[in-house]
């Protein structure tokens, strides 16, 4: 179904079985394939390819040469009907690629809302991206990567498959990430190493001084106390009882499977 207010350039190709919401714009020479659903107010600029099954929310901006919802690059993929879902108000810049999932995982790639994907960023199959993240130019996510809210991934940074990037992290440019990165941590390097917490980012997001102090205390407990990670986890769980912001650490450690950067 195509809403009467949708604007489709005469040179664009929109296949049967596409749903376009109110005020959607499809630019010149773009292609929108069967099984694609695009929400109200989203603008697809020129020379964009979107294939389904893909669902895109409202008020997104997708710039030229982006490839959205294409088959993944996993050799195990055999044409199964996997999906991609993108939230609202994302900015997807030139040549960004986002692939559908694989049946070996949940069959689904998920991108949240209010994210910025700069030029040539790549979101591989089965990734789970939160909200209000920034992926700088050429940031590359391998398959099955999970990224929490408010994370910043620097340009030319590559994240290994199955890694988890905690909320409010900041990864410096040119980093190679092969382990999980706890919430709030700043990290950089090949291989990526921790360099303290993202204090400036937390201040900008309105964290209280007491919360930032508690987060810093957890960082010291994990990285400077000399304790094993298992010992530190127990201490962090106790500390989280008195500070809500620390609950992110508890949840992260429960789900982390690759081990954390050290």
3 is catalytic: no
CA distance 46 to 63: 7
- 182 contacts 260 by C-beta, under 8 angstroms: yes
| pLDDT for the residue 144 | 97
The mean pLDDT value of the chain amounts to 97
Do you find a cis peptide bond into 218, omega within 30 degrees of 0?
A: no
Tell me, rounded to whole angstroms, the distance of Cα 120 from its chain centroid: 14
Active-site residue, selected from the candidate residues 99, 108, 122, 125: 125
Over range 223-237, report the average pLDDT.
94
Report phi then psi at 89, rounded to 5: 60, 30
What angle is formed at CA 32 by the lines to CA 76 and CA 43, rounded to 5 degrees?
120
Active-site residue, selected from the candidate residues 88, 126, 149, 180: 126
Report phi then psi at 111, rounded to 5: -120, 130
What angle is formed at CA 96 by the lines to CA 91 and CA 97, rounded to 5 degrees?
120
- 166 contacts 149 by C-beta, under 8 angstroms: no
pLDDT bracket for residue 36 (50, 70, 90): very high
27 is catalytic: no
Tally: H helices and E strands in the chain: 4, 28
CA distance 54 to 89: 16
Q: Identify which of 117, 114, 146, 143 has the alpha carbon closest to the alpha carbon of residue 129.
A: 146
Give the tens place of pLDDT for each residue, 123-166. Answer: 999 999 999 999 999 999 999 999 999 999 999 999 999 999 99
Active-site residue, selected from the candidate residues 143, 148, 154, 172: 143
Give the tens place of pLDDT for each residue, 80-125. Answer: 999 999 999 999 999 999 999 999 988 999 999 999 999 999 999 9
| pTM exceeds 0.75, yes or no | yes
Task: At 119, list the tokens.
Answer: 């030029």
10 burial level (CB within 10 Å; 0-12, 13-18, 19+): exposed
Tell me the Cα Rg of the chain: 20
């Amino acid at each position: 179904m195509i809403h009467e207010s949708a604007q489709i350039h005469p040179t664009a190709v929109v296949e049967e079985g596409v749903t376009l919401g109110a005020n959607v714009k499809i630019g010149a020479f773009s292609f929108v394939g069967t099984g694609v659903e695009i929400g109200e107010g989203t603008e697809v600029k020129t020379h964009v390819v979107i294939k389904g099954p893909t669902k895109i929310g409202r008020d997104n901006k997708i710039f030229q040469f982006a490839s959205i919802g294409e088959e993944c690059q996993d050799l195990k993929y055999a044409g199964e009907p996997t999906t991609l879902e993108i939230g609202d108000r994302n900015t997807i810049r030139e040549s960004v690629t986002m692939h559908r999932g694989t049946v070996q995982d949940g069959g689904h790639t998920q991108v949240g809302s209010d994210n910025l994907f700069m030029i040539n960023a790549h979101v591989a199959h089965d990734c789970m991206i939160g909200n209000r993240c920034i992926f700088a130019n050429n940031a590359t996510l391998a398959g099955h990567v999970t990224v929490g809210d408010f994370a910043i991934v620097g340009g030319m940074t590559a994240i290994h498959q199955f890694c988890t990037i905690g909320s409010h992290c900041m990864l410096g440019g040119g980093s190679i990430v092969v382990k999980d990165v706890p919430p709030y941590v700043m990290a950089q390097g090949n291989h990526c190493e921790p360099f303290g917490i993202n204090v400036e980012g937390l201040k900008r997001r309105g964290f209280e001084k007491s919360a930032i102090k508690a987060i810093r205390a957890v960082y010291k407990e994990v990285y400077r106390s000399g304790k094993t990670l298992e010992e530190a986890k127990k201490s962090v769980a106790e500390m989280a009882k008195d500070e809500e912001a620390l609950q992110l650490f508890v949840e992260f450690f429960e789900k982390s499977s690759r081990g954390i950067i050290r």
